Amino acid sequence: MVNFSRLPQKSFLGGITRFFLNFIPDTWVLRILQGPLRGKKWVKGSGVNGYWLGSYEPKNQKLFQGLIKRGDTVFDIGAHVGFYSLLFSQLVGPGGKVFAFEPLSRNVQLLKKHTGLNNISNVVVVECAVAETEGEQFFSESAGNSLGMITNVPQLTKVKTVSLDEFVKNGKIVPNFLKIDVEGAELLVLSGAKELLFKHHPVIFLAIHNNEMRGGCVALFRRFGYRPSILFEDPLNGIYELLCE
């Protein structure tokens, strides 16, 4: 897989590549160029170019291919515009199901557009943030559309929230795999999933966004019998990716 994002911006090749990419209208629907989603339709301006170039987080794409099986049920928590939801949909096959949790309406619209463009029927979009309890919470939006998070500070945006324990109980749905990328609300998600973790022990991929959060998440995992392993770490910026089995 060619990882275009690794081309240095100041290099000739990196500069000319980005120059030409900027001329492609954001509204165009393109085919993903490489990787397991090669050939799928994608809205160019819905996120970073790495999505439709197929070079977005190649190690994680490969990891998920090895972990998720046909017929599985996957919760994509922090689904954004659906890149991983599409990948999970393909991996679980017609007999599996993907529940894509995303609170921001702009992202939800693009997520639904991507599933529609690709005639995907095994992805259920849940327009909620995942937290400790069901209700409403303030949501801080980033300048882009990928770094929003639940916050205690009053904001213009309020979103609906659901806990995983409530969602599983009400829908009688048990996931095999969770992908959690919620920009700082990791402990809220896990605190609302204690029964799920204890009874069903799904495999979890967790992105963590500060050093303090890492300690709390690891302690909670160990309390429920998980063995977290570090896939990626950047302690200076407090960024970690864990696989918990």
| Full domain range(s) for residue 41 | 1-56
Do 95 and 161 belong to one domain?
Answer: yes
Q: What is the pLDDT of residue 232?
A: 96
The SS3 call for residue 51 is helix
| 161 Cβ contact list (under 8 Å, min separation 6) | 103, 128, 129, 130, 131, 133, 134, 135, 136, 137, 150
Average pLDDT over residues 123-141: 86
Average pLDDT over residues 45-54: 93
Distance from the Cα of residue 199 to its chain's centroid = 24
Confidence check: pLDDT of 201 > 90 = yes
Do 52 and 69 belong to one domain?
Answer: no
Do 82 and 174 belong to one domain?
Answer: yes
pLDDT digits 0-9 by tens, 143-200 = 555 566 666 666 667 889 999 999 999 989 999 999 999 988 899 999 999 999 999 9
Do 41 and 135 belong to one domain?
Answer: no
Residue 61, both tokens: 């794409």
Nearest Cα to Cα of residue 232 among 212, 213, 205, 197:
205
Q: Any bridge partners for residue 140, and if so which? A: 149
d(CA 6, CA 26): 22
pLDDT digits 0-9 by tens, 55-104 = 999 999 999 999 999 999 999 999 999 999 999 999 999 999 999 999 99
Average pLDDT over residues 189-218: 94
The SS3 call for residue 34 is coil
Q: What is the pLDDT of residue 210?
A: 85
d(CA 228, CA 221): 7
Do 48 and 142 belong to one domain?
Answer: no
Average pLDDT over residues 39-66: 95
Residue 181, both tokens: 């990328």
Do 108 and 175 belong to one domain?
Answer: yes
**pTM assigned to the model:** 0.91
Per-residue pLDDT band at 16 (split at 50, 70, 90): confident
d(CA 16, CA 13): 5
Q: Is the dihedral of CA 151, 153, 157, 158 positive or negative?
A: positive
| 73 Cβ contact list (under 8 Å, min separation 6) | 92, 96, 97, 98, 99, 173, 174, 175, 176, 177
Nearest Cα to Cα of residue 5 among 72, 76, 53, 42:
53
Do 140 and 33 belong to one domain?
Answer: no
Q: Any bridge partners for residue 97, and if so which? A: 73
Give the number of domains in the chain: 2
Q: For 178, phi and psi rounded to 5 degrees?
A: -120, 130
Instruction: Name which of 5-9, 58-62, 99-103, 234-238 the model is least confident about.
Output: 5-9
